[in-house]
């Protein structure tokens, strides 16, 4: 007897729940129906006379497959080539990394016309033009910060701050002044200039490229010492654009040091004297330099005295101290017939008004 809800004659064979579940695992899903080779006409379509019950569906033409695949590959290659071409020709591609230039340097000693005045640092500063200068880093003042056509106010400020860091480190740091340290200066340079800097420090030469005194102010600690740690400073910073991708800053500063002999050997020899260094430095920054807080030093012009014209000032400055006079020798001779990189020695005369008044 059939169960409740079943047909009177029982469940037909071949249907779920029947005795023979031969097709129970077959699922006629949408993908199966779409893949069928034939399709049944609708009831309306079969109303026509002699209308067939089913129609054949189009099938994949194996003979045309290679040509279709080739066409597809060709389209992909054309699209890929077009993308590469447009990428190369695109006007807004980021610029290639620029290699920094070697720094050019000129160091000129200034010889005094008489004996070097001596006294206490306070007396010397008060009777010299440096008496109105500020002390230390306070003398390196910032100009008004304004944006340029292609650089923001923040970027200009970053460039000026980096230059000030370089000036303070290379001109005022006591460890740098005595030759005990160079790394604080080196870390601010563009990586492309570090090899030139290292050679200048290790093997200084008066060849216009490798004078250590072009990068920093340095004295021989065996001969001189600071008589006053407060160096007097005055100068200017000027900002200009060098095209759309670079900023240039020119610094012009005068640094005045109170020095004494490193070893006191008798009465009066502990008197201080003033030594003046004028540095004109040309810096360049691209956007990568600004992001890494570094700079490219392109030109360094230095005048310093009182010194003897015959002194080799490529490795360190050699101040004449209280009571000393410049010798009568001129700058070291230059041989125009010598081969290799030319070495040129220059010397100037220190104006009397640049010295402290008696």
Q: Which residue has the higher pLDDT, 262 or 29?
A: 262
Report, in angstroms and rounded to the nearest whole number, the Rg of the chain calculated over CA atoms: 43
Q: Which residue has the higher pLDDT, 254 or 37?
A: 254
- Mean pLDDT (the chain) is 83
Do 56 and 119 reside in the same domain of the chain?
no
Do 259 and 150 reside in the same domain of the chain?
yes
The tokens describing 153, both together, are 């106010």
Do 285 and 169 reside in the same domain of the chain?
yes
Do 205 and 249 reside in the same domain of the chain?
yes
User: Which among 87, 115, 133 is the end of a domain?
Assistant: 87
pLDDT band for position 342 (50/70/90)? low
Residue 256 reports pLDDT greater than 50: yes
Q: How far apart are CA 4 and CA 17, in angstroms?
A: 14
In a domain, 9, yes or no: no
The tokens describing 48, both together, are 């026509």
In a domain, 135, yes or no: yes
Do 174 and 49 reside in the same domain of the chain?
no
In a domain, 328, yes or no: no
CB neighbour class for 134 (10 Å; exposed up to 12, middle 13-18, buried from 19): middle
**Model pLDDT, residue 101:** 87
Can you tell me the mean pLDDT for 115-133? 95
DSSP 38: E
**Model pLDDT, residue 82:** 79
Residue that has been written with the tokens 């899903």 in this structure: 29
> 88-92, 125-129, 244-248 — which is least confidently predicted?
88-92
Q: How far apart are CA 355 and CA 273, in angstroms?
A: 9
The tokens describing 241, both together, are 């654009």
Tens of pLDDT, residue by residue over 179-188, are 999 999 999 9
**Model pLDDT, residue 346:** 83
**Strand pairing report for 134-135 and 232-241:** antiparallel
In a domain, 152, yes or no: yes
Do 229 and 147 reside in the same domain of the chain?
yes
Q: How far apart are CA 214 and CA 302, in angstroms?
A: 7
pLDDT band for position 68 (50/70/90)? confident
3-state secondary structure of 149: coil
Do 72 and 202 reside in the same domain of the chain?
no
In a domain, 282, yes or no: yes
Q: For residue 70, what are the domain limits?
A: 30-87
Do 81 and 116 reside in the same domain of the chain?
no
Q: How far apart are CA 225 and CA 202, in angstroms?
A: 22
**Model pLDDT, residue 84:** 73
In a domain, 92, yes or no: no
Residue 257 reports pLDDT greater than 90: yes
Do 128 and 179 reside in the same domain of the chain?
yes
In a domain, 19, yes or no: no
Tens of pLDDT, residue by residue over 190-220, are 999 999 999 999 999 999 999 999 999 999 9
Can you tell me the mean pLDDT for 146-159? 95
In a domain, 38, yes or no: yes
**Model pLDDT, residue 21:** 53
Contact 215, 299 (CB under 8 A): no
Residues 6+ apart with CB under 8 A from 223: 261, 262, 318
Alpha helices in 114-182 (DSSP H): 121-126, 153-171, 174-177
CB neighbour class for 37 (10 Å; exposed up to 12, middle 13-18, buried from 19): exposed
Residues 6+ apart with CB under 8 A from 264: 270
Tally the domains of the chain: 2
Do 62 and 188 reside in the same domain of the chain?
no
DSSP 337: T
CB neighbour class for 248 (10 Å; exposed up to 12, middle 13-18, buried from 19): middle
Do 148 and 242 reside in the same domain of the chain?
yes
Compute CA distances 155 → 151, 245, 301, whole Å: 6, 12, 26
Of 202, 166, 180, the residue nearest 281 (C-alpha):
166
């Amino acid at each position: 007897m059939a169960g409740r809800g079943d047909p009177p004659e029982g469940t037909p064979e071949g249907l779920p729940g029947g005795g023979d579940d031969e097709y129970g695992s077959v699922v006629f899903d949408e993908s199966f129906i779409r893949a069928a080779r034939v399709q049944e006409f609708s009831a309306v379509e079969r109303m026509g006379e002699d209308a067939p019950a089913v129609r054949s569906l189009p099938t994949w033409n194996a003979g045309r497959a290679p040509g279709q695949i080739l066409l597809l590959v060709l389209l992909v290659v054309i699209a890929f080539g077009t993308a590469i071409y447009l990428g190369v020709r695109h006007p807004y591609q980021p610029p290639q990394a620029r290699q920094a230039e070697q720094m050019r340097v000129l160091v000129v000693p200034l010889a005094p016309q008489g004996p070097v005045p001596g006294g206490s640092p306070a007396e010397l500063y008060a009777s010299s033009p440096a008496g109105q200068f500020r002390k230390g880093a306070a003398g390196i003042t910032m100009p008004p910060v304004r944006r340029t056509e292609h650089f923001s106010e923040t970027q200009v400020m970053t460039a000026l701050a980096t230059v000030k860091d370089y000036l303070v480190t290379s001109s005022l740091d006591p460890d740098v002044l005595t030759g005990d340290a160079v790394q604080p200066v080196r870390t601010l340079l563009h990586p492309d200039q570090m090899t030139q800097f290292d050679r200048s420090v290790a093997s200084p030469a008066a060849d216009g490229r490798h004078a250590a005194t072009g990068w920093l102010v340095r004295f021989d600690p065996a001969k001189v010492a600071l008589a006053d740690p407060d160096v007097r400073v005055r100068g200017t910073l000027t900002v200009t654009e060098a095209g759309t991708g670079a900023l240039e800053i020119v610094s012009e500063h005068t640094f005045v040091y109170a020095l004494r002999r490193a070893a006191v050997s008798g009465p009066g020899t502990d008197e201080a004297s003033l030594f003046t260094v004028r540095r004109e430095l040309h810096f360049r920054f691209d956007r990568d330099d600004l992001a890494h807080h570094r700079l490219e030093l392109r030109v360094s012009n230095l005048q310093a005295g009182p010194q003897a014209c015959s002194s080799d000032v490529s490795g360190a400055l050699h101040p004449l101290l209280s009571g000393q006079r410049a010798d009568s020798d001129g700058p070291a001779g230059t041989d125009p017939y010598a081969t290799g990189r030319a070495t040129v020695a220059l010397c100037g005369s220190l104006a009397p008004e640049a010295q402290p008044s008696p």
